[in-house]
């Protein structure tokens, strides 16, 4: 498996500095948060896109994917959601990112069936555009669809190879799903896995990997046992927790911890 980290942990950091952190600490790739307060987002022009791609390529670090904020199950018209996804897919294509993360975002005013149908319809349409862009859209296990079983209801209905899943280990754990259950649900669709650690279900302040309650060893063991050879991406949510230890101070130890888990499960 290859290792990456998300720029959610280093909010607003310039691309050269992100690349340097990844290369220095032995990470194979980076997930870029695609938001207007970050260096890479849909509002930047062709030159900035090319520069970002070139900076990563020169250092031998991959852009794993873009973390977008489109909500495919949200109530309302399809057109604005699909337009947002198309802009993100264009950006992913231009910087050479193989994956684009989207959220479910179903509202409480919808039934589960309505949210599933809305998400499946939008993902099915967007997946056609994604195929032309050479990008795969990944529905993250999050909010209204936090377990693998939730995501499976949507992705099974879509049935398109360019629509897949992003397994966030915190949300499936919060949803009461065991790693083996999540893998069984998502394995036909799995793009990559987001790892992290927290103190408890009530305290989600990000912690160094291995120092919290999330079942990281079990997740890695399940993936290894089934021969899955994709990406593990550390999503350290520094953006939302200002008091958390700065990620750059933790990257080396985090890389070592993931390496130990991989060795133990080999």
Reported as a single tens digit per residue, the pLDDT across 210-261 is 999 999 999 999 999 999 999 999 999 998 998 999 999 999 999 999 999 9
Q: DSSP character for 86? A: H
Segment 141-152 mean pLDDT: 98
Segment 169-195 mean pLDDT: 98
In this structure, what are the phi and psi dihedrals at residue 232, rounded to the nearest 5 degrees? -110, 120
0.75 surpassed by pTM:
yes
Handedness of CA 214, 165, 259, 196 (dihedral sign): negative
pLDDT at 265: 87
Angle at 13 between CA 93 and CA 143, to 5 degrees: 65
d(CA 206, CA 4): 16
The encoded tokens of residue 25 equal: 């600490």
SS3 168: strand
CB atoms within 10 A of CB 160: 18
pLDDT at 108: 87
pLDDT digits (tens, 9 = 90+) for 90-116: 999 999 999 999 999 998 889 999 999
Provide the CA 126 distance to its chain's centre, in angstroms.
18
Percent of the chain with pLDDT over 90: 97
pLDDT at 22: 98
pLDDT at 107: 86
With residue 54 as reference, give the H or E element that holds it.
Answer: helix 46-59
From 156, 166, 99, select the one nearest 124 (Cα to Cα).
156
User: Domains in the chain and their CATH numbers?
Assistant: 2-265 (3.20.20.150)
């Amino acid at each position: 498996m290859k290792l990456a980290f998300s720029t959610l942990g280093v909010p607003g950091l310039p691309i050269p500095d992100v690349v340097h952190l990844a290369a220095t600490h032995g990470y194979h790739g980076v997930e870029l948060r695609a938001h207007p307060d970050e260096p890479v987002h849909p509002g930047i022009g062709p030159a900035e896109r090319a520069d970002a791609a070139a900076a990563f390529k020169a250092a031998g670090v991959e852009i794993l994917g873009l973390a977008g904020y489109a909500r495919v199950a949200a109530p309302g018209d399809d057109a604005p959601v699909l337009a947002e996804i198309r802009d993100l897919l264009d950006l992913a294509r231009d910087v050479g990112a193989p994956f684009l993360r989207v959220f479910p975002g179903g509202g409480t005013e919808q039934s589960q069936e309505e949210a599933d149908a809305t998400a499946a319809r939008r993902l099915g349409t967007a997946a056609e555009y994604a195929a032309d862009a050479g990008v795969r859209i990944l529905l993250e296990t999050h909010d209204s669809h936090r377990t693998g079983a939730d995501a499976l209801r949507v992705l099974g209905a879509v049935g398109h190879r360019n629509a897949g899943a992003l397994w966030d280990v915190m949300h499936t754990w919060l949803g009461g799903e065991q790693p083996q259950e999540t893998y069984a649900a998502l394995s036909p669709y799995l793009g990559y896995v987001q790892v992290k650690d927290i103190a408890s279900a009530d305290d989600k302040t990000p912690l160094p990997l291995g120092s919290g309650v999330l079942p990281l060893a079990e997740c890695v063991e399940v993936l290894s046992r089934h021969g899955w050879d994709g990406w593990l991406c550390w999503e350290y949510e520094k953006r939302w927790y200002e008091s958390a230890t700065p990620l750059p101070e933790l990257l080396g130890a985090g890389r070592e911890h993931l390496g130990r888990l991989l060795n133990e499960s080999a």
